[in-house]
Each structure stands twice: as C-alpha cells, then as structure tokens.
Amino acid sequence: MNRAVEVLAPGPMTLLQDLGRFGHLAVGVGRAGAADAGSYLLGNRLLGNASGAAALEVTMGNLRLRASGDLLVCLTGAAAPASVDGRPVPRAALVEVRHGQELSLGMPVAGLRTYVAVRGGFSVPEVLGSVSSDTMSGLGPEPVRAGQVLPVGDRTEGFPVVDVAGVAEPSTGTVTLDVLPGPRLDWFADPERLAQTPWSVSSRSDRKGIRLEGEPLERHAELRDAELPSEGMVRGAIQVPPNGQPVVFLNDHPVTGGYPVIGVLRSASVDRAAQLQPGQEVRLRWNL
Amino acid sequence: MTPAPDSVDAVDAVDVPDAVDAADAAATGSVSVRFLPMGEAAWLVETDDIESVLALEAALAPLLRSGEGVWADVDDLVPAARTLLVVARRTTNLADLANGIRAAAGRATRGAPSGTTTVTEIPVHYDGPDLDDVAAHTGLTRAEVVAAHTGTPWRVGFGGFAPGFAYLVGGDPRLVVPRRTEPRTRVPVGAVALAGEFSGIYPRESPGGWQLLGTTDAVLWDVDREPPALLVPGTTVRFTEVTS
C-alpha cells in the first residue's frame, strides 16, 4: 500500500520544507528552506534519508497526523511533548508509527519549530527545484491543511544507523548569538551597543525575519537621513531600519533590502535564532 | 574586541591581490570593486554604479556556469543598484572567492554587450492612470511620454522586489520621475510603470508606489516556463505601443 500521512490538525502553521531554492535570487526568488536547517538535516540523517528530503516544519506544535501504512518518523528541533496513540515518544529518535496510529505534537516547551521527518521524505511536487513553502514569494505548497494527505516518498540513502541522537533542547532562557561584521557596520555610531543591549524577540517575528526590541541603535549623525540603495541580502543579516530596532533575516527574507546591515549571524546561530520564542531574551556577541 | 567602524577594513584585509591601479583601470575599462563582508558565505561587492555592477556580473556569470574551482561553491549573483552580492556555500573559502572576483573585475568591461543579450519586445496599452502626472513631472505631453518610453531600449538591471520583477535601466533620461506620494494598495498584473530612473512591470497584482503608464499582456512570471522570468539579466527590453 502507498504510505502517507493524513493531517488531522495542522496546528497554527505547518509548512513543507527542504533545503530551499538555489540560483533564482537574481529574479527575486529567495532561498526559503527549513528555518532551523541543522535540526531539519538531523532528522533526515537519523532516518537514513537523502539530505534534501522534504519534512514538515511545525511552528508552535499542536499537530496531529494519522499514518497510512507503517512509518518511521523522527522529531527534531523544538521540544514539544509528542505521543503515538497517547504513548509518549522521544525527540531526536526513531519512532515507529504503525498504520492507523496517530502522532500528536503538543505545544513546544522549548523552541518554536519542530521538524517532523519521515523515512523516505514527503513526496510533493517541486517548484524551481524545491518543495519549500516560501511565505515571501508565495512559491511552493500552501500551508498544510486539515484533511490533507501527504504521500511518503522514497528519498532514502542507506539505512538508519543510530536510534537516538544526544542533542540539546533549544534554550528557554537568554540565548547568545554570534555575529560577524556586516557590510554597513560603519553606518552606526556605536556598534558595540548591539552586543551590550539585552534584546527581546518581538511577537511580530516570522520566517521573513525576527524583530528584536530594545534600546534603539543609532547611526552616525551625518548618516541619520542617508538613503542606501537596495542591495542583496542573506539569511542571518541584521538589518537596522530607521527606528533602530534590528531585524534578523530568516529564510523567507526579501532578496534585496534598503536598510543598512550592521552584522550577519553565523549560520549555526541563525538555526538557534529560528527557535526563539516571542518574548525570549537575546544577546548578540561580535565575532571579529 | 570592539567592532569599531574600521573593522570592515580588517575583514577586507584577507589575502587578496591589490586592486588594479586607477590608470590601469582606465586603460582596460576594468571595474573597481570594494569587498564588504556579508557573513560566512558571501561577499557584497560594491562598485561605482549600475554599469559597473552589470559589467562585473557579465564577467562572473560564465565562471559560475563553468563550475570550476571556487566557482563550484557559488550559487547566486544578486545585482543591485551599486552592489553585486555573490552567494556561496558555507564551506567556501572566502579569500579564494575574493581573489576570483577581483581577477574577473580586472577583465570586466563597462558598457560591453553581454554575451547572452536577447531583445524582448513588450507591447503596452498606454492608458495608465498616471500618464498625466508623468507628463506634468517631465514637461512632456502624453504622446511624448509614450514616444520616450518606446523610443529607447531598456536593459534588465536587477530584480528583487518580487519573482519576475526587473528594474529596467538605461531608458530615456527625461523619464526620471518620483514615486507616487500615496502608494496604491492594488496595482494590476502587467502594469508598466516608472519610478526614479527605472521602469518596471508588475509580474502579479500587488501594492505599489510606481507611476503607472499602462499595461501589457506579456507574462512576466510563469513557474512552468524555463526560465520562469521573462526578463532575465542580460535582456534588452523594447516597449511598443499597442494601438487598437
């Protein structure tokens, strides 16, 4: 029988994601892809999947799925209480979900985005080489809906070798992220303030960017009203609009932007940023 | 360590050859470049103007296609008004990449026709709601605005606003107009517009603040087409008036 999952409840937002789209930035199509790339890749690795096999990115949990056929599943990223037919199952481990059984994911206790990977990956049509839902351009599949049936594919590479990986849960306390100097660092009066300020994650954060709230960053006086011609942006870039409140670009960021970028997060720090909950405290640390 | 404003220079101090000197640049028409850091896997290469950006892009594009050496790591070039963003894989060697970009910049020729130039004709119904405003801004009549828009070929400068949207450059210099003071909440698909020195065509319905000259039936973006974007880098655009 063809293996699949039926979506009983999608939670607040569940998206299909993979490594994203490459080679289309110049025509305005961003990378998209799994926001916490490390957790997404871990799930595929544990399952013996090809590294780009499609998985579900579940924001704020509350997902319920029913297996059609016997499935091997792995949950990574945000730590949310999970169960199969009411029996608790561990995170970052191989979990059997038998035909007709229900996998249920509660609200995350740590982190924001849980990845639900299945052995073989989900089989959905690609757009420009990726199944990723891009919330900026609208490319890729719509958010997952209740009643939807997602076929399971055959994107495996070998067999699972370990049953469980010892990975730390995302932090619920203050998170420190590593920042490299950005292209417009010299626009700012005191860049050290980026590292001295305790920042708070705004609830108006999404896959396009994480808005940080705190004491505004100021530009040099002579650049206060200066306009920057739009320039290409990358995931992890920290753009500072005139209000001085930094925005950390996530995977669905605009391809170009017109505000100065003070710094760029290291890639591993972007993964951790993607797990920040609204209201969580963030510290930035310059890597020079 | 405190990231003083001059720390950008420290990042630029990777082991790359010196830029060709000014006299040399004038003789060869090469493009002067400044390397700005953009994280673990990219360079934001700043040049003097859009002509230099396009010349550098034209010099780098064949290297990307070759996939040789460090170029195997590079996935994207993102041209913009004064910069070219070069995006590579995380495992790339940024110093090697800077070397490669600098060497290509030394060979780049401003204003040289790109090897892949295609000419795309865009038929336009010049009945847009802002024709009178554009006429007023430019001191031209409506007919003269249309003649100016159709009379000079435009080139694809860069994208970035939405899939398939291209900032067109190199048009008639009389057509420089400000954006509308009140952006529209809804601009129809295919709207042909002006803002600043640029012309552009809305690939889908969206909000927008550009001055609308008319509409075209040309399909700017179709994911089932290869390539999906009608206006790709290197394309020359000729607007023509539809009279019906």
Contact B36 A183 (CB under 8 A): yes
Cross-chain residue pair A264–B40, CB shorter than 8 Å:
yes
H or E stretch including B148? helix B142-151
Domain containing residue B66: 8-107
Q: Find the CB nearest B80 among A24, A231, A234.
A: A231
Query: Does some domain include residue B41?
Result: yes
User: B130 with B234, same domain?
Assistant: yes
Report if residue B2 sits inside a domain.
no
Domain-embedded: residue B85? yes
The reply to whether B78 and B140 lie within a common domain is no
Residues B27 and B62 in one domain: yes
Q: Does A181 contact B2 at a Cβ distance shorter than 8 Å? A: no
CATH of the domain at B64: 3.30.1360.40
Residue A76 tokens read as 């990574």
User: Last residue of some domain: B51, B77, B107?
Assistant: B107
Q: What is the CA radius of gyration of chain A?
A: 20
A191, two tokens: 């860049």
> Is A208 within 8 Å of chain B by CB?
no
Judge if B83 and B124 occupy the same domain: no
pLDDT band at B13 (very low <50, low <70, confident <90, very high): very low
Q: What is the biggest distance separating any 2 CA atoms in chain B, rounded to whole angstroms?
A: 68
A138: which 2 tokens?
């609208």
A120-176 tens-digit pLDDT: 999 999 999 999 999 999 999 999 999 999 999 999 998 998 888 888 899 999 999
Give me the number of domains chain B comprises: 2
Measured between beta carbons, the chain A residues lying within 8 angstroms of B178 are none
Contact A182, A232 (CB under 8 A): no
Asked whether residue B95 falls in the same domain as residue B125, the answer is no
Q: Is residue B1 part of a domain?
A: no
B166 and B237 both lie in a single domain:
yes
User: Can you give the CATH number for the domain in which B234 is found?
Assistant: 2.40.100.10
User: Which of these, A211, A193, A201, A208, lies nearest to A247 by C-alpha position?
Assistant: A211
State how far the Cα of A234 lies from the Cα of A257, in Å rounded to an integer. 10
Residue B18 inside a domain? The answer is: yes
Looking at the structure, tell me whether residues B94 and B167 fall in a common domain.
no
Residue that is last in its domain, among B107, B131, B165? B107
B189 interface with A at CB cutoff 8 Å: no
Residue B112 lies in a domain: no
pLDDT band at B29 (very low <50, low <70, confident <90, very high): low
Residue B108 to chain A, least CA–CA distance (Å): 19
Share of chain B above pLDDT 70, in %: 86
Whether B103 and B136 share a structural domain: no
> CB-based contact (8 Å) between B218 and chain A?
no
Q: Given phi > 0 = left and psi -120 to 50 = alpha, else beta, which region is B73?
A: alpha
Check A231 against B10: CB less than 8 A apart.
no
pLDDT of A204 higher than 60: yes
Tell if the CB–CB gap between B232 and A236 is shorter than 8 Å. no
Closest-CA residue of chain B to A255: B160
Amino acid sitting at position A176: T
Q: Using a CB–CB cutoff of 8 Å, tell me whether B82 touches chain A.
A: yes
Do B123 and B233 have their domain in common?
Answer: yes
B25 touches A: beta carbon within 8 Å: no
Are both B50 and B141 inside the same structural domain?
no
Dist. CA B180–CA A115, nearest whole Å: 44
- Same domain for B68 and B131? no
Q: Where does the pLDDT of residue B169 fall: very low under 50, low under 70, confident under 90, or very high at 90 and above?
A: very high
For the question of an ipTM over 0.90, the answer is: yes
Interface of B with A in 127-166 (CB under 8 A): 158-166
A-chain residues near B42 (CB < 8 A)? 234
pLDDT tens digits, A98-125 = 999 999 999 999 999 999 999 999 999 9
Residues B145 and B89 in one domain: no
Please tell me the distance from the alpha carbon of residue A18 to that of residue A30, in angstroms, as a whole number.
13
pTM for this entry: 0.89
Q: Any idea which residue has 């490299």 for tokens? A: A180
A248 in contact with chain B, both atoms CB, cutoff 8 A: no
Contact assignment for B159 to A26 by CB distance below 8 Å: yes
Query: Does residue B113 form part of some domain?
Result: no
Using CB atoms, pick whichever of B7, B81, B163 lies closest to residue A27.
Answer: B163
Chain A nearest C-alpha distance from B5 (Å): 4
- Say which residues have a Cβ less than 8 Å from residue A8's Cβ, sequence separation at least 6: A64, A65, A66, A102, A146
Q: Is residue B22 part of a domain?
A: yes
pLDDT digits (tens, 9 = 90+) for B112-132: 655 557 899 999 999 999 999
